[in-house]
Amino acid sequence: MRVLHVIESLGGGVLSSVLSMVDATPDIEHHLAVWQRRKHAGTGDQLGAFTAIHLLPGQVRRATRSLRALVGEQAPDVVHAHSSYAGVLARAADLGAAVAYSPHCFAFERRDLGTVARSTFREVERSLVRRTEVLVACSPHEASLAVDLGHRRVVMVPNRPLQPPDLRVRRDEPFRIVTVGRVTAQKDWRHFLDVKREVDRHDVRGLRWEWLGSGDDDGELALRAEGVAVSGWLPRTEVIDRLGAAQAYLHTAAWEGAPVSIVEAAAVGLPIVARAIPSLASYDVPGLAPAATALADQLLDLRDPLAWARAQRRSLRFAAEHSVSVQRYRLNAAYQHTPAVTTPRHASLA
């Protein structure tokens, strides 16, 4: 089987997810088409697992023609589009090939847009349902949204760390609180600072706060002004090393798919404290809390060694559920389809 993946960036969580899918299915011939709509710093990931990498032009019409030509040349069994814009490109292009689509968080879940914009994104997604052979969801919440849109075939494929970590966090001082990702409205650096301010009210000594990533200038300046170290983009190996040197992982995103960073943090045994948004709640992520005050209370509780040890055990159990065998089984189920056959009347949720 030959699969052509279409992505928007050679960096970030989506590429991590795709690389783990490639690693889980070595019997499949994987190709990569990159429609690089925006710049994203590389994370040192090795791309040699792809049989070939193709760059698409930035302009939409040229990218569409280029993708059609590529599909004609490669004759993939499946074109697997990742994230919203690549999903629109691949499905609207009339490729004459079966299309699998992974939203990695539907665009209509964004909370930095008004009601009209979110409704427009939802209708665009609904209009492309008939051009989607299978919707590959990253969380039960995303799978449920896909069924509501009208997708007839939905398979939930969990994210996982690309490589099993060879380190385990130990309780230590100074007590480091970290997060990973792009400094944007989605990751909600403002909420991160709200949590820090709540913790600071308790005048706890010896805390270190770090944001592993980069992004909006205003966000970076605001984080640094309140004592949060912002690392800039780092190679993935260094991110894992820094997670292994921390004592708590704080995730404050306002909307999400199923971030690989949470699973990576859990895999090294880092206690998780995360904002209770629908996607993470559906995944049963440990350490969920609804608001800044409750998140701060959880972080303060982790100062107790026994509470920290219990939280670490929960993280390790959560990480164990995101195995390569489960990902391989679900992904093969997603790719096994017959495009010429009419889709069944009722959606199946694997």
Give residue-wise pLDDT tens across range 270-283.
Answer: 999 999 999 999 99
Q: What percent of the chain has pLDDT over 90?
A: 84
- Cα-flanking dihedrals φ and ψ of residue 275, to 5°? -65, 135
At residue 211, the pLDDT reads 98
Do the two domains 2-160+324-349 and 175-320 of this chain adopt the same fold? yes
For 105, residues 6+ apart whose C-beta sits below 8 A from its C-beta are 83, 138, 142, 255, 256, 257, 279
Q: How far apart are CA 257 and CA 47, in angstroms?
A: 23
Q: How far apart are CA 32 and CA 52, in angstroms?
A: 6
CATH class of 175-320: alpha beta
Q: Select from 3.40.50.2000, 2.30.110.10, 3.40.190.10, 3.40.640.10 the CATH code of 2-160+324-349.
A: 3.40.50.2000
Q: What percent of the chain has pLDDT over 70?
A: 94
Give residue-wise pLDDT tens across range 304-342.
Answer: 999 999 999 999 999 998 889 999 999 999 998 545 333
- Residue 43 pLDDT grade (very low, low, confident, very high; cuts 50, 70, 90): low
Q: If we measure between CA atoms, which residue out of 87, 185, 183 comes closest to residue 137?
A: 87
Domain ranges of the chain: 2-160+324-349, 175-320
Q: How far apart are CA 273 and CA 151, in angstroms?
A: 33
